Amino acid sequence: MQVAGFANTNLGKMNGVQVAGFSNVNATRLPSQGVQVAGFGNVQIGDYVGSQFAGAANIATEKITGSQISVLFNHGKEVRGTQIGLINYADTLGGVPIGLISIVKKGYHKIELSADEVFYTNLAFRTGVKKFYSQLMAGLKPTQSIEPTDTSVWTFGYGLGTSPRINRWLSIDIDLLSQHVNKGSFTDELSSLNKLYVGLDFQLAKKFSLATGITLNGYLTRPSYSDYPQLFTDFKPNIFYDENVGTDINLKMWLGAKIALRFL
């Protein structure tokens, strides 16, 4: 065991634990095993059996059989475990990545162009692994005019999902997505559109697929605020729930649909 208030460095094979207030480095390409725990960061050069826990970042340059857990960033070449952090990167990943952005080089990456009953133009980036991925999205209503005043309606959001494969060309999508809906430059008030999406992904070519499905929508607003964007213009779905939740929050719910083209 190595325990230090600031940092530990090991230049040979390690079978044990490194605990430091700032950083741990295991700078050998010999296979090692144990646990690294650091207030800031851990670096593992060779193959490693064990887990890394850090306040900021974990780096494993070769195969790591275990989990990487940090606040900000995890990097692993071949990870046989779970990555949990704000940003995760791996060449290959045997478990699931959990974070704001998770990139697996040999994993799941999709650029999605879609339309639904609210926004006819949406762009999303879905990344991770098919078992668990994250997505960043933005959307707008292109028919809205910005003259003479800015009344454009647009949105941005973040979501999580899974896409288990049924066969070689068909997968099931289950997504949870939360969007902030804006009128003009920005709506500085509660304007949260939340979606549960269930659909099918049809793989039409190697890097091209068609996806479609239904959504359960919940739109949260404040009745005391009056300058919200108009969600529906050409078609208004059946809003089956429209009630106040608490003293100053309104929830509207309806069923919708989405169709999308996916690339990569």
Model pTM score: 0.86
Structure tokens at 213: 């499905």
Q: Which amino acid is at 212?
A: T
Q: How far is CA 2 from the centre of its chain?
A: 36
Confidence of residue 147 (pLDDT cuts 50, 70, 90): low
Confidence of residue 150 (pLDDT cuts 50, 70, 90): low
pLDDT attached to residue 247: 82
At 186-207, the pLDDT tens digits run 899 999 999 999 999 999 998 9
Check pLDDT > 80 for residue 142.
Answer: no
Domains of the chain: 2-104 (no CATH), 108-263 (2.40.160.20)
